[in-house]
Amino acid sequence: MKEWNVLLKQEWKKVTIMAVAALLLAASIILQGYLFVTVVDQVFIDGAGFSAVTMSMLFLLLVLWLRTGVSDVIARTGVRLGTRAKLSMRTMLLGKMAKSPVKDAGQQQSGKRISVFMDAVEETDSYFSGYVPQVIQSSLVPLVLFIAITVTHLNSGLIILATSPFIPLFYIIIGLKTKEKSEEKIEEMNALSGSFLDILQGLTTLKLFRKAKEQKENIRTSSIRFRDATMDVLKTAFVSSLMLELISMLSIGLIALEIALQLIIFENMDFFTAFFILILAPEFYNFLKQLGFAFHTGRQSMGAASKVFDEINREEDTITWGEEPLSISHPPRISLSNATYRYGEGEFELGPVNVEISPGKSIAIAGRTGSGKSTLLHVISGLLPLSEGEVCVEGKPLSSYQEEEWMKHLSYISQHPFIFSGTLKDNIIIGSDHSQSEEEITKAVEQAGLSELVGELEHGLETLVGEGGRGLSGGEKQRLALARAFLKRAPVVLLDEPTTGLDLKTERILKASLERMSEQATVITVAHRLHTIREADEIVFLEHGKVAGQGSHAELLQAVDEYRAMTTLSGGGEST
């Protein structure tokens, strides 16, 4: 996989350390065998005393310590390599998700994305921390051992040369099957995660429509498929282990038989040579066998990695930004010139839109359901990439500015602002640069109409709220989002009709807050209520993705038949 090769090239120092350590490991194994055989030969064959082998035993202990230390260095380096690789993959995934346009972000199940980000990335760890170190060891150590055995006894080297290819050949065949089974397992896990999270989030709705039991059975079926996929991977692993042990045992048995014939029948080999080869041969096959086990794990990791890189490399519309700074302290001039956005072939198309947005004005984007109001707001905010045309800020294309610079001057309040798990204060300052004083935070809370709520809470702004705003009403969430905007003091504020679905008292509080906000910023609102539309300084009326008219309420009533029909039908209620 070319992406993994790129990751390994970035960590070439760690790979080099493991290669040098592997050569030292091979040397320590040969020295260990030589010293051990020397001690046994002198004591049991030559009848030497303990004093005669004292130095050899001390050197043997030193070599054993060296082997242990080198193995530990390889293992630790592999773990660090795995940690860095997972960090790189998660960074790429986060970057991909952060740059995804709004429409692409909403097309995938949250649970599936979380599963890829957490579980699939974590499953790649064994490739970098286990497989890569083992490949390096099994490429260098057996080669050095083979040379040592062949130089010592040619026949044993020839047996190794004839039998050793069967081990990699076998685990390559098994490994291909393992990768396929692993991909099936990851697919089932992602499906289970996505389904479970969707069902959990919509549990109330499912109960109301008496579909909870049906979905329970769906989860059970998905769980069984995931279990079966996992068991298939384990069965393949067990078969692989059995066959690797069998091939290694038979190969070592052949070498032992040949040495026995040379030593006992033909008497043309001494004890030292025979024992030295019998010490090194199992080490040779052990490293090949360990590579087999690691190869199985590595192929399993590659199944997970394919899901990760499929997500990273998935083609989608990307939003490009420039390098220019944007330093403004006043509402900027915003214009759209032939701005067009297409959702896809044969799908809804917005534009071309040609609109001049006056600085410091209150702008309402109106139109019937599906006319492109929210899409236009997303285009202005920079959350959707244009197919054609451009959005200009202060006379320059929005795409020429740095993303961070533009977002710093922008506040966006949707119908359903997301509240993070944490304190009220954490959620309010999330959009600011965290340099605001307590007085400024308190003032933003007052401007947003949150003072009464905060005053009633025992811990005030340090009160914890659950993920998604658990513990807060819809109106309280909206006011919290407004407090973010007041604290940020952005010169451009985008609103996706934040008063929809709120009671009259809460709506009046929010309306007063929004009026204060419009005194210092350009406020662009996707308007659903007629009174919101009427009170705007300018109205941009959309019809089937096109601008059907722009002007005040009175001007549009006179000039645009569809606008007049819509406002007449709404009768002061909903316009869409």
Percent of the residues in the chain that have a pLDDT greater than 90, as a whole number: 33
Q: State mean pLDDT over 268-286.
A: 93
Which residue matches tokens 């592999």?
78
Q: Give me the mean pLDDT over the 376-387 stretch.
A: 90
Q: What is the mean pLDDT of residues 330-334?
A: 91
DSSP character string of 291-321: HHHHHHHHHHHHHHHHHHHHHHH--------
Neighbours of 107 (CB within 10 A): 10
Using 50, 70 and 90 to split pLDDT, how confident is the model at 573?
Answer: very low
- pLDDT band per the 50, 70, 90 thresholds, residue 171: low
Q: Which of 398, 442, 412 minimizes the C-alpha distance to 424? A: 442
pLDDT of residue 63 exceeding 90, the answer is: yes
Is a pLDDT exceeding 80 seen at residue 1? no
Condensed to tens digits (0 to 9), the pLDDT of residues 453-467 reads 888 888 889 988 876
Alpha helices, DSSP H only, in 449-572? 451-456, 474-488, 504-518, 530-534, 553-559, 561-570
Q: In angstroms, what CA-CA distances link 362 with 315, 450, 491?
A: 37, 23, 12
Average pLDDT over residues 190-206: 73
Least confident of 70-79, 320-329, 433-442: 433-442
The pLDDT-based confidence of 64 (bands split at 50, 70, 90) is very high
Amino acid residing at 128: F
pLDDT band at residue 182 under the 50/70/90 scheme: low
Report yes or no: 475 and 499 within 8 Å, Cβ to Cβ: no
**CA gap 120, 511 in Å, rounded:** 46
Residue 310 has pLDDT above 70, yes or no: yes
pLDDT at site 105? 52
Per-residue model confidence (pLDDT) at position 203: 74
pLDDT at 541: 94
Contact by Cβ (8 Å): 137, 22:
yes
Q: What per-residue confidence (pLDDT) applies to 571?
A: 55
Q: What is the mean pLDDT of residues 186-196?
A: 74
pLDDT of residue 251 exceeding 60: yes
The neighbouring-strand residues paired with 494 are 412, 524
Over residues 143-160, mean pLDDT: 93
Q: Phi, psi (5° rounding) for residue 370?
A: 85, 10
Q: Which fold has domain 4-313?
A: ABC transporter transmembrane region fold (1.20.1560)
What confidence score (pLDDT) does residue 492 get?
A: 93
Query: Per-domain residue ranges for the chain?
Result: 4-313, 334-571
- φ and ψ at residue 472, rounded to 5 degrees: -115, 145
Q: Does the structure show a pLDDT above 50 at 134?
A: yes
Asked if residue 352 has a cis previous peptide bond (ω within 30° of 0), the answer is yes
pLDDT grade for 257, boundaries at 50, 70 and 90: very high
Q: Does the model's pTM come out above 0.75? A: no
Phi-psi region of 409 (alpha: psi -120 to 50; beta: other; left: phi over 0): alpha
Q: Is the pLDDT of residue 411 over 80?
A: yes
pLDDT of residue 334: 94
- Would you state the pLDDT for residue 459? 87
97: left (phi over 0), alpha (psi -120 to 50) or beta: alpha
Q: What is the reported pLDDT for 575? A: 43
What is the rounded average pLDDT for all residues in the chain?
Answer: 84
Mean pLDDT of the region 548-560: 91
- Looking at residues 390-413, what average pLDDT do you find? 91
- 4-313 and 334-571 agree in CATH topology: no
User: What confidence tier does 574 reach under pLDDT thresholds 50, 70, 90?
Assistant: very low
Residue 572's pLDDT band, with cuts at 50, 70 and 90, is very low
Q: Please state the rounded mean pLDDT for residues 158-185.
A: 75
Distance CA(549)–CA(561), nearest Å, equals 10
CATH code of the domain occupying 334-571:
3.40.50.300
